[in-house]
């Protein structure tokens, strides 16, 4: 089972291009200035099976979409359930571009099985002191937009190329 709060069909701020976004429920942190405080309680949202959520997301993905993003809350607070959701999606649509937003750092989560299934991780908690509204796809300067397959292959952080990403918007 997985807890989610909402699904959005047409976001342009949660990754490159027009994206379907799943907002998962629950986050262990309490960052000052959190953008989604109602999504923090772990008992909130709606509980569904992983297959139900995956099917809901697949149904929303159309030709105009550049991909799918998981935000929250913190999607990596439910890593096994997220693994099942993304596995289901990848089995049917292996090409779908998948971003995950998390308050955990890459170093903290790099060994989770789900990391082998995602394209980009926007990592680290929101830090109000480093907030910068000119940043693209992230809220504070401490956060990194990470190319996950390249980082896992090289064993160190490879930042995602935003030039390429913005060109696709
Ligand atoms: S990690 Fe994200 S969702 Fe969690 S408290 Fe911080 S800003 Fe809010």
Question: Which range marks the domain in which residue 125 is found?
Answer: 2-167
CATH number of the domain bearing residue 159: 3.20.20.70
Angle at 1 between CA 23 and CA 36, to 5 degrees: 20
pTM of the predicted protein model = 0.96
Count structural domains, the chain.
1
**For residue 36, how far is its CA from the centre of ligand 1 (angstroms)?**
7
Residue written as token pair 């937009």: 145
Residue nearest to atom 6 of ligand 1 (CA): 31
**For residue 28, how far is its CA from the centre of ligand 1 (angstroms)?**
8
How far is Cα 103 from Cα 124, in angstroms, rounded to an integer? 4
Query: pLDDT by residue (tens digit) across 39-81?
Result: 999 999 999 999 999 999 999 999 999 999 999 999 999 999 9
How far is Cα 133 from Cα 135, in angstroms, rounded to an integer? 5
Residue written as token pair 């990596």: 76
**For residue 26, how far is its CA from the centre of ligand 1 (angstroms)?**
9
End-to-end CA distance of the chain: 33
The predicted pLDDT at position 50 comes to: 98
**Phi (first) and psi of residue 71, to 5 degrees:** -130, -160
Q: Please give the chain's pLDDT, 169 residues, in tens.
A: 999 999 999 999 999 999 999 999 999 999 999 999 999 999 999 999 999 999 999 999 999 999 999 999 999 999 999 999 999 999 999 999 999 999 999 999 999 999 999 999 999 999 999 999 999 999 999 999 999 999 999 999 999 988 766 544 4
Nearest to 36 by CA among 8, 2, 68: 8
Is 127 exposed, middle or buried, given 0-12, 13-18 or 19+ CB atoms closer than 10 A?
Answer: middle
The predicted pLDDT at position 169 comes to: 45
């Amino acid at each position: 089972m997985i807890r989610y709060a909402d699904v959005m069909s047409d976001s342009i701020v949660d990754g490159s291009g027009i994206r379907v976004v799943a907002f998962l429920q629950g986050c262990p942190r309490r960052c000052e200035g959190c953008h989604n405080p109602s999504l923090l309680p772990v008992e909130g949202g709606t509980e569904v099976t992983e297959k139900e959520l995956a099917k809901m997301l697949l149904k929303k993905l159309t030709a105009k979409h550049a991909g799918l993003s998981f935000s929250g809350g913190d999607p990596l607070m439910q890593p096994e359930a997220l693994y099942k959701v993304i596995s289901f999606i990848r089995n049917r649509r292996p090409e779908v571009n998948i971003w995950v937003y998390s308050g955990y750092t890459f170093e903290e989560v790099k060994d989770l099985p789900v990391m082998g299934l995602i394209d980009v991780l926007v990592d680290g908690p929101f830090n109000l002191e480093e907030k910068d509204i000119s940043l693209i796809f992230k809220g504070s300067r401490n956060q990194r937009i990470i190319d996950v397959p390249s980082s896992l292959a090289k064993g160190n952080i490879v930042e995602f190329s935003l030039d390429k990403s913005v060109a696709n918007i």
